[in-house]
Structure 1
């Protein structure tokens, strides 16, 4: 994520994967350590799948390198932006 050039080969959700996750699990938060949770070719359709459900929170651009494997509680503190469909968020991990 911290390279000078944008990398379109990053790993992200395709529309069908997002749909399966939303319909078949009780997952409420999806986070990725790149700029988008959706695969490069499927950005808008994938976001629509997640956002139509209004139950799945998307976190993009997480900086997780250096975090040891383990069980954590995550607390997300978004900015309150009136009329916005997204917001910068500070996420805190508590072990």
Structure 2
């Protein structure tokens, strides 16, 4: 099966958190000047585009990105469709998350425009996080920039997911993906002491595990 790219393309036009560091790439040396190679430089927030949050992002005592187990970000996943929902709640998830789901990806929209930062988004409720823990989920992926509203200071969704032992993958692209079982690879970079990391997230369809 062909791998499906679910990561946002990084370019100068990609939306970033208001007030955060925008993405930029530039050549700092060219083959003409070096005589051998082109060399580029990248500047960006760790939370631009498709990325993983480390607990340290919202908890000074939380694990940093290089301390998280890689096994969390590789393995079987299940995609559910929840188009247009206002929040990701327990009542939404009940009955549609299969047993033995380890990694859950939630599709909330049919079109993605990575050049526009949303004013609102479907936040994850603490009850939903607790429910996913009872289901054995270890990673939640969403197709929006955050598991909390952009203006939230309490970050209830982030804290509840961390308390439930569930890793956070944000800003994946699922508009071209149907619900079902997949193999997921979404490895964060080994950024020592970092609060998050961009990832190249990909899926490959697999047969039903039921």
Instruction: Give the TM-score taking structure 1 as reference length.
Output: 0.76
Flag the structure with higher strand content. 2
Unaligned runs of 5+ in 1: none
- Report the CA distance shift for 1:43/1:35 in structure 2 as closer, same or farther (over 3 A): farther
- State the match for 1:71 in structure 2: 181
Flag the structure with higher helix content. 1
- Report the CA distance shift for 1:51/1:21 in structure 2 as closer, same or farther (over 3 A): same
Which of 112, 118, 122 in structure 2 is aligned with 1:6? 118
| RMSD over aligned Cα atoms | 2.3
- Report the CA distance shift for 1:16/1:91 in structure 2 as closer, same or farther (over 3 A): same
- For CA contacts below 8 A with separation 6 or more, give which structure has more relative contact order: 2
CA distance in 2, matches of 1:39, 1:21: 20
Provide, for residues 51-91 of structure 1, a one-character-per-residue CA deviation record: whole Å limited to 9, x for no partner: 234x3111100101112333211111211111113211111
Unaligned runs of 5+ in 2: 1-111, 206-210
Instruction: Give the TM-score taking structure 2 as reference length.
Output: 0.39
- Report the CA distance shift for 1:62/1:68 in structure 2 as closer, same or farther (over 3 A): same
CA distance in 2, matches of 1:94, 1:87: 22
CA distance in 2, matches of 1:26, 1:19: 10
Q: Is the 2:189–2:199 Cα contact (8 Å) retained in structure 1?
A: yes
Alpha-carbon shift at residue 39 of structure 1 (Å):
4.2
Question: Is residue 172 of structure 2 the alignment partner of residue 62 of structure 1?
Answer: yes
Larger Rg: 2
Q: Is the 1:15–1:45 Cα contact (8 Å) retained in structure 2?
A: yes
